[in-house]
Every structure is written in structure tokens, then in C-alpha cells.
């Protein structure tokens, strides 16, 4: 049981380039989400999904796209990278929507540097 996995661990992009951050979970969780963590700020929700085929925006969605074609995978796409997207990105998953009863499990993170 690998839990939540993320690839790559580290990536350097040039401004304007595109890339996809991969996230997969093997716990059959319905709920998955993407966060970014920046210095001096807490983790902020980018996008989330409550099941295959269903996604919605979080707190800071601009510049990012997501899709959820399977229960296991939830990729995050940067269509045109900007220096402001330099951050550490965490993917998370949980059985249900309510954090009071359902623990979120986080992946190890992807460190992204946009030059």
C-alpha cells in the first residue's frame, strides 16, 4: 500500500512552459485535492475532486487545471508556468469530505521552481 504518490519530486521550468504534476493513490479514496505551500503561508487549496469526473476550484485555482478520469489519479496541469507558481505542491486524498471524521493523507510533495 503506497498511499499517495507524487511525481516528480523536483522540477525546474522556464516561464511559459507547461507541465503536469502527477498524483496517484491506491487507497480507493473518492476525495482528492491539491495544495500549494509557500513561505510564510499555510497550505492553500488549489483544486479538489469528490470523485471521478467531478472537480471544483479551491482557494487559489488560477493558472491550474485538473481532471479526474479515474479514482486513482488526479493530475495538476500548469498550462503556462509563471514565477509566482514557484512553490511546493502537495496532493492529498481521503475517504470522505468531512475533515472532522475523515483524515486527509498527503503525498510527499513536488517542489517546483519557475525561472
| Residue 79 or 113 with smaller CB distance to another protein | 113
Minimum separation from the CB atom of position 110 to another protein (A)? 10
By CB under 8 A, residue 25 contacts another protein? no
CA distances 7 to 30, 82, 96, 107, 109, Å, are: 20, 20, 24, 10, 8
By CB under 8 A, residue 106 contacts another protein? yes
Tell me which of 8, 84, 108, 113 binds another protein, using CB under 8 A. Answer: 108
By CB under 8 A, residue 41 contacts another protein? yes
| Residue 21 or 92 with smaller CB distance to another protein | 92
By CB under 8 A, residue 94 contacts another protein? yes
Q: How far apart are CA 31 and CA 39, in angstroms?
A: 26
CA distances 97 to 17, 30, 72, Å, are: 33, 9, 16
Binding site for another protein (CB under 8 A): 4, 31, 33, 40-45, 48, 50, 56, 90, 92, 94, 97-100, 102-109
Amino acid at each position: 500500500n503506497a498511499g499517495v504518490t507524487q511525481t516528480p519530486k523536483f522540477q525546474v521550468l522556464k516561464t511559459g512552459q507547461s507541465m503536469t504534476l502527477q498524483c496517484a493513490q491506491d487507497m480507493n479514496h473518492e476525495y482528492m485535492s491539491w495544495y500549494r505551500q509557500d513561505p510564510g503561508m499555510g497550505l492553500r487549496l488549489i483544486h479538489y475532486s469528490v470523485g471521478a469526473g467531478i472537480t471544483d476550484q479551491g482557494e487559489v485555482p488560477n493558472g491550474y487545471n485538473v481532471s479526474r478520469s479515474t479514482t486513482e489519479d488526479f493530475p495538476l496541469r500548469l498550462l503556462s508556468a509563471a514565477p509566482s507558481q514557484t512553490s511546493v505542491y502537495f496532493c492529498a486524498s481521503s475517504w470522505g469530505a468531512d475533515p472532522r471524521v475523515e483524515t486527509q493523507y498527503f503525498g510527499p510533495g513536488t517542489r517546483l521552481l519557475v525561472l
